[in-house]
Amino acid sequence: MSVNDLARAERADLVELLEQLTPRQWAAPSLCDRWTVQDVAAHVISYDGLSARELLRQMVRGRGNPHRANDLGVRAARRADPAAVLEQYRRHPEPRGLTAQFGGRIALTDGLIHQQDIRRALGRPRAVPPERLRVVLPFALTSPLLGGLWRVRGMMLRATDLDWRHGRGPEVTGPAEALLMAMAGRPDPLPELAGPGLPVLRRRLERP
């Protein structure tokens, strides 16, 4: 199965989840600061339809800061209702544009992390397919936008449910999905992690 296939399957799983949500759940906070579930869902697909020129224009409007550019896309999507967001997913099940880069790794990583931002916030856990985690974990470490490598520098991560480890130093152990979310800057999975390196990781994630 190619990475693009995995990204497409992850997007299909997200659509299946979104179709089950109530209006109240769409409006609920996600794990992403100041973003609702609808904001996160809209963000995941917001870059698919942008041409290279439109992408450059959005980055200029965001003054070169990817997080500001993301907020601009989410702000525009807030004018739509959940049905319109879902329609975008149904029309474009295949990641396109920026998200299709790196063989689909951007789409898979962004989609997987943000699906967990929604699921964890709503108390809707799932077992993430291990073949997806095996692709996303190393990519999350190298992606400059995620900053995973910086957060876990000087420690050794070891998944307890997957044959995966990274780094050297005081150990942090736990489920692979929880390690991924911590690398992505989410404090939510900290109670699921253990090891002598955990206090350092906690300080890094809880720092304002």
> With contact defined as beta carbons under 8 Å apart, do 154 and 83 qualify?
no
pLDDT per residue, tens digit, the chain (208 aa), is 899 999 999 999 999 999 999 999 999 999 998 899 999 998 888 767 654 454 445 444 544 455 555 555 566 566 678 998 999 888 888 777 666 676 889 899 999 999 999 999 999 999 999 999 999 999 999 887 788 899 999 999 999 999 999 999 999 999 999 999 999 999 999 999 999 999 999 999 987 5
- Where do runs of H (alpha helix) occur along the chain? 3-20, 23-26, 37-46, 52-61, 66-77, 82-91, 105-122, 130-142, 148-151, 176-183, 198-206
Domain of residue 85, residue span: 3-122
Encoding tokens for residue 152?
């876990």
Domain harbouring 18, CATH code: 1.20.120.450
Cα–Cα dist 166/152, whole Å:
9
Cα–Cα dist 140/146, whole Å:
6
Cα–Cα dist 159/175, whole Å:
5
**Structural domain tally of the chain?**
2
Q: Are residues 33 and 111 in the same domain?
A: yes
Q: Go through the chain and tell me how many residues it has.
A: 208
Q: Are residues 80 and 109 in the same domain?
A: yes
**Total-model pTM:** 0.87
Kind and range of the H or E run holding 171: strand 171-174
